[in-house]
Amino acid sequence: MPEYKAPLKDIEFVMNDVLNFEQHYANLPGGEEATPDLVNAILVEAAKFSEEILSPINQIGDQQGCTRHEDGSVTTPDGFKEAYQQYVEGGWPSLAHDVEFGGQGLPESLGSVISEMVGAANWSWGMYPGLSHGCMNTLSSHGTQEQKQAYLPKLISGEWTGTMCLTEPHAGTDLGLLRTKAEPNNDGSYNISGTKIFISSGEHDMSDNIVHIVLARLPGAPKGTKGISLFIVPKFNIDAQGNVGDRNAVTCGSLEHKMGIHGNSTCVMNFDGAKGFLIGTENRGLNCMFTFMNTARIGTAIQGLTAAESSFQGALAYAKDRLQMRSLSGVKQPDSVADPIIVHPDVRRMLLTQKAFAEGNRALLYFGAQQNDIAHMSDNVEERKQAEDLLSFLTPIMKAFMTETGFESANHGVQVFGGHGFIAEWGMEQIVRDTRIAMLYEGTTGIQALDLLGRKVLMSQGELLKNFTKIVHQFVKGQADNSAMQEFTKPLADLNKEWGELTMEVGMKAMQNQDEVGAASVDYLMYSGYVTLAYFWAKMADVAQRKLTEGEGNAAFYQAKIETARFYFARILPRTLSHAAMVKAGNSTLAAIDEAHFSF
């Protein structure tokens, strides 16, 4: 099993050198407490917890899985509960939450960095506290003061955990089809009845209570998504003082038998007249739930990053150690029976692809996390709006592109190992299995692509796209006199221009046939992802070049950044050519075959 080591040098490079988190935190109201010394101490401790506590039980979780008992209770794998208690005792759940309810009030972006380390060490375990953050954000944004007082202190402390209950057996992405009912009671509560499936962390033994956030329909509600309301449904009812009381009528009917993430309890949850409480206004539940879903989409993007990082670490160590054949350009280790496989060009291609995606996606994620900070903490209305728009545009790219490239990276890790990669003891195939879900939950790649092209770009008449392409344009313009950067800025400028032209072409076609949006969307999203990452790699190359010129820091580290940027631009960025061609191909080749001809 790969032994995870937190890439603190790379994390600090993005935070400090590329995105200037120190200044970012200093400019945030309330963010000034996130001083460099405090941030560094938090990163070091999070790395230690991830490496020493979570990583060793990652494979155990995969092998053992969770166990459901006859009474519906669920036991997590060995070490999971104990690790969670250490997590709570360390104050980690409260890091980026409201001081009023017991949180530490630090910026959410710092929590995202911690989530990367936790997830790379043990994704299945990290999902338990991960879902709680979305639950807390939903209650903070839409709950009444009484609801916040009742639930947030225990959720923030980590004594309780949270879930998101959307999907039903017949209704996945199309939530307008859901059937779960909410019948009003005389005391202001509701009886919630229905079945939800694929509920991550739905039942477990790690916390004293589980707070389910549930979508359901009120009597007489409009059909479709306009008739959905949102409810708090705790596993155990609580009294007026917030203490746990009797068991609510919500149980785990079964555990899903899954391809991966075995250490997380993915449940079928049965609500049999369970007591629930309305969040927000009637029939506006989906609007409230988007707070949870957007938190979860960014959390899922992190999984793509963690897959690339953890698989790269495992593959790199193996490639340096495994002896196979001789280098075609001449013997590299004459004292050995063969050369290590890292000398072979194709192995280097795979390793560099993993490295380019891990480090590039980290920069993209942290930039998105900065926008999230500004959107929630800035006291400048204009700054908040700009950050909200940028985050709205980038979220589907982060979720879909980062998970697609993370899965690709995980597969490269298996390939580097050869036959050993297919064997469970090495742990590389677990990363593939665990990561495959990332392209499915919180909206598939196709759904994210429709959101990006249809809702975010075309429905805004391209304005949300322009917000980001302007950033790219200003960066390129600022490098006009820097000859060392032209190998990056010239292709970046050309693609930035083509991005707008592709958008216009799809938009014109969609005016005649809206299916053109669906036909182009996934390729458009992947094109967007590759261009977006090109911007961040160019930005990292610029910083690295300046550090080398100034003679600062580790020269080999900065030179590696430049060389990886060159690899990305030469060997990965050309994928935009095929995606652009497929975007332009349109819907005709998809629609030409009659449904009857899809036969076997």
Are the CB atoms for 93 and 129 separated by under 8 Å? yes
Q: Which two tokens stand for residue 107?
A: 């910026």
Compute, in degrees rounded to 10, the torsion defined by CA atoms 244, 185, 195, 288: -80
CA distance 303 to 299: 7
Active site residue 203: no
Q: Which residues of 463-477 are buried (b: 16+ CB within 10 A; e: fewer)?
A: ebbbbbbeebeebbe
Q: Which two tokens stand for residue 533?
A: 């990452």
Q: Containing H/E element for 271? A: strand 266-279
SS3 (DSSP) at 199: strand
For 123-249, strand residue ranges (E) read 160-165, 181-184, 190-200, 209-216, 229-234, 236-238, 244-247
Q: What is the DSSP string of 55-86?
A: GGGHHHHHHH--EE-TTS-EEPPTTHHHHHHH
Q: Which residues pair with 269 in a beta bridge?
A: 196, 252
DSSP 445: H
Of 315, 336, 339, nearest to 325 by C-alpha is 339
Task: Kindly give, in sequence order, each residue whose CB lies less than 8 Å from that of residue 55, ignoring residues fewer than 6 positions away.
Answer: 3, 4, 121, 122
Q: Which residues pair with 165 in a beta bridge?
A: 214
Task: Kindly give, in sequence order, each residue whose CB lies less than 8 Å from that of residue 70, ignoring residues fewer than 6 positions away.
Answer: none
Catalytic residue, chosen from 442, 516, 550, 595, is 442
CA distance 499 to 493: 10
3-state secondary structure 365-421: HHHHHHHHHHHHHCCCHHHHHHHHHHHHHHHHHHHHHHHHHHHHHHHHHHHHHHHHH
Are the CB atoms for 492 and 574 separated by under 8 Å? no
Are the CB atoms for 190 and 275 separated by under 8 Å? yes
Q: Phi/psi at 266 (nearest 5 deg)? A: -95, 115
Burial classification of residue 216, based on how many CB atoms lie within 10 Å of its CB (0-12 exposed, 13-18 middle, 19 or more buried): buried
Are the CB atoms for 81 and 24 separated by under 8 Å? no
CA distance 426 to 422: 8
User: If you count them, how many residues does the chain have?
Assistant: 600
Active site residues: 442
